[in-house]
Chain A
Amino acid sequence: MSGVTFQQVTKRFGDVVAVDQLTLDVLDGEFMVLLGPSGCGKSTALRMIAGLEEVSDGLLTIGDRVVNHVPPQDRDIAMVFQSYALYPHMTVARNIESPLVANKRARVDADERERRVKEAAATLGLEEYLGRKPGELSGGQRQRVALARAIVRRPEVFLMDEPLSNLDAKLRTQTRLELVELHRRLGTTFVYVTHDQVEAMTMADRIAVIADGRLQQVGAPQAVYERPANLFVAGFIGSPPMNTLRGVVSPGTPAAVTTPSGTVRVADRGTAADDTEVVAGIRPEDLSVVPPGGEGVVGRVENVELLGHERHLVVSCDGHVLVVRQDNGEPTPAVGETVTLAARPEHVHLFDPAGSGRLN
């Protein structure tokens, strides 16, 4: 087992910089999720670990070995592709055993090979499908075969490129749990790429948020959720996303941000100076409706979304749309009604509107 380290790793395709000076330490045995929107460079970063893309600049280390120029088959990694990339002309058993047959370093004798294939198949509940071809399996079963092919060689690092995106919603939830379970059981390093923040939040030990080829923030899912490092992370993680309001820091204590539609109290103003412009970020669950005339921002209720276990109020405040998460027990304002919203001061995030970095 071993970790993966990016040191100032850059990948360029012609003039396009796909990954820009990425520095990231994936610890030994960790479940690291690379999270970001499409085209942000997360898959390229993963493919560099696999050796499918060359590193343009910087150092890439697996364990204590620099692998910049190590060919893919000698890196001791296994990868699960989005399309699963199973060999359609081979049976499930032959697909699973292929790394043991192909790789000189992983090659084992026939008995051992059969034992390991059976073991991998048993781990993923594939015993009865060993004689079938991938074309005769469902999407979920194919996905398991791809996983079995990855675990059979007992690699140092597992790489997964959006492996759940071709599954339906129910199967995705189930497989998510199984992947976490698999990681616990194997204790191997997992590097997992996804654009789905739910997958990232539910499975990761740590999340690395990437946008435009640059690392935005690394941390445990809860930490990233609670203290997003910049406006991008704040908007990308959390559903519905964090509300943002532009305003000016008012002088004096306790600190507050004055916006065109009202005042937002802030417990900790951080490095935000008096009278500077800031963006206040407030999670939907940290906003609540207060009696009219109280301190807060005033807006008009545009819509009430019923979700069964909770409600989302969509409130328009001077051009900004704010979403408020309400419990079912709370009184519901009617659509069109004017309401005053107050934020919990200790949960108000302040960002620099220019550099978008966090101020408190």
Chain B
Amino acid sequence: MSEKATVSITVNGKVHEEEVEPRLLLVHFLREHLGLTGTHVGCDTSQCGACTVHIDGASAKSCTVFAAQADGSEVTTIEGVGSQDNLHPMQEGFWEEHGLQCGYCTPGMIMSAINLLNENPKPTEKEIREGIAGNLCRCTGYQHIVKAVQYAAEKGVVR
């Protein structure tokens, strides 16, 4: 293809220097180059939000960002949010409140929901619904996701 570009991207606290095609999407950089497959692809028009990650602390749809654009950035993916032994309160909320079924939208949904609470730590139900409206879920009807976010809000999400 075309000439390669060198990028240096910090993902979940670890610096990665890679040669990439300029057109390589950040989501494919994460999934294919780094093997971080928790970030999913659910559409090709930036509607579904399954690929949501944090770039420099704010949520972004990683299918809409070239890896080259993230050069020099700090990226957090679902793998960097919490672990099995040390779940993030938002992950805990999704588990406690049955905020997921098939789980495919879940990583992106959790990343968006964390971003929402970072901006608005005590959102109303309406604000939660609006805050996650950029993430599509086909399984849950969203009600248990709203409860999951409320659970995390009550616990207090401090980043």
Q: Do A and B come from the same complex?
A: no
